[in-house]
């Protein structure tokens, strides 16, 4: 966030006391999520093993929940994929789709602790998969379509991807297997 404001062609900086307060606040304590072991360090959440912090800073860790753990707790996720199975799919294909989702999610979580698979709800003809990152949901839906449309499904079967029309930060993707 840039603290400078543009007012009638002039740039107005915040008072020096504000800048000093923000600078001191950054050095006082680090935020630490007990559930996923991530640390808010240099303005972003990172895995604890990716951060080089001193023993004095480890003593000063402030315990809190990271945004992803908070989403899991409140079940208010940013990304959702709804998969409707109208075509009969055998268990092996469904397991391959599930493995693909889990593998991509795990790989993304290694890179970014805030981007992860939240919840996986299964029923006979529908799966609902929730993610803490809306871009992760989009990437996984596109990867499923690319991988399984070309290799497994015949010409008369298809996968449709529809994005929700709702104006909100949540991304809902509906995939229909016909």
pLDDT of residue 60: 82
**Digit-coded pLDDT (tens) for 69-113:** 999 999 989 889 988 887 777 788 889 999 999 999 999 999 999
CA proximity to 79, closest of 32, 125, 10, 140 = 140
CA proximity to 102, closest of 66, 155, 140, 47 = 140
Q: Where are the domains of the chain?
A: 28-64, 72-177
Q: Which tokens hold the place of 171? A: 């991304």
Is residue 7 predicted with pLDDT exceeding 60?
A: no
**Digit-coded pLDDT (tens) for 112-166:** 999 999 999 998 889 999 999 988 998 998 888 888 766 555 544 556 666 766 6
Is residue 41 predicted with pLDDT exceeding 60?
A: yes
Greater confidence, 15 or 89?
89
Percent of the chain with pLDDT over 70: 71
CB of 24 closer than 8 Å to CB of 55: no
Q: Which residues contact 131 (CB under 8 A, 6 or more apart)?
A: 77, 78, 79, 80, 81, 105, 115, 116, 117, 118, 137, 140
Q: Which tokens hold the place of 158? A: 């298809």
């Amino acid at each position: 966030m840039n603290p400078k404001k543009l007012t009638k062609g002039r740039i107005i900086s915040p008072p020096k006391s504000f800048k000093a307060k923000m600078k001191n606040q950054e050095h006082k304590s680090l935020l630490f999520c007990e559930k996923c072991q991530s640390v808010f360090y240099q303005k972003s959440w990172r895995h604890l093993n990716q951060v080089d912090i001193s023993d004095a800073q480890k003593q000063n860790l402030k315990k809190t929940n990271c945004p992803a753990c908070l989403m899991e707790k409140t079940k208010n996720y940013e990304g959702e994929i709804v998969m409707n199975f109208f075509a009969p799919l055998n268990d092996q294909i469904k397991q391959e789709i599930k493995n693909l989702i889990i593998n991509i999610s795990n790989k993304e979580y290694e890179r970014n602790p805030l981007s992860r698979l939240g919840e996986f709800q299964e029923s006979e003809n529908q799966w609902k998969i929730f993610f803490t990152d809306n871009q992760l949901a989009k990437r996984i839906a596109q990867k499923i379509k690319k991988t399984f449309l070309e290799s497994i499904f015949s010409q008369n079967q298809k996968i449709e991807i529809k994005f929700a029309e709702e104006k909100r930060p949540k991304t809902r993707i509906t995939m229909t297997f016909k």
